[in-house]
Structure 1
Amino acid sequence: MRIIDSHVHYGFWDKLFTRSAEEGFLEVLWEHCQEVGVEKVALLANPGRRGNEMLSRALEARPDFVIAMGRLELDNDPVSAVEDFYQRGFHGIKTIGVSKNYDHADYMPYYEAAAARGLRILFHTGIQGGPADYLEGGKEDAWKAPPAAGCDAEDALVMRLKKDISRERFGFSSARMQPIYLDTIAFYFPELFIIGAHLGWPDYRTACAVARWRPRLYFDISGGDVVHNHIVEGGYIGKEIAPRKLLYGSDSDHRRLKGDVARWKAAFDKMGLTADEQDQIFYRNAARIFGFEK
Structure 2
Amino acid sequence: MDGDLVLKWLSFRGHGRLSDVTSSVAALMEGPPHAKTNAARAYLRRLEVLGHLDLLWPESKWQIRPTVLTQIPGSSAFALVIGQRTAELEERLEAEAVLHKVRAPDTGTTTLGDPGTLLLEYDSEAELSEIAANAGAGFIPCAASSLAANLPLLVPGPRAGGPNTYGSAVEMFNVFQREFTHVEAFRRDGLYKQIVNGRWQYWLLRSGLWSSIGYAEGMCLTMSEVDSQYLQFEILEDAEDPIGTLHVNAGLPLPVQHRQALALCSGVSPVKTTGGPWTYHNVPSSVALAVARSIHQHLKVR
> In which range does the TM-score fall when normalised by the shorter chain?
under 0.3
Q: TM-score, normalised by structure 1?
A: 0.24
Task: Answer 1 or 2: which has greater helix percent.
Answer: 1
Compare CA radii of gyration and give the structure with the larger one.
2
Q: TM-score, normalised by structure 2?
A: 0.23
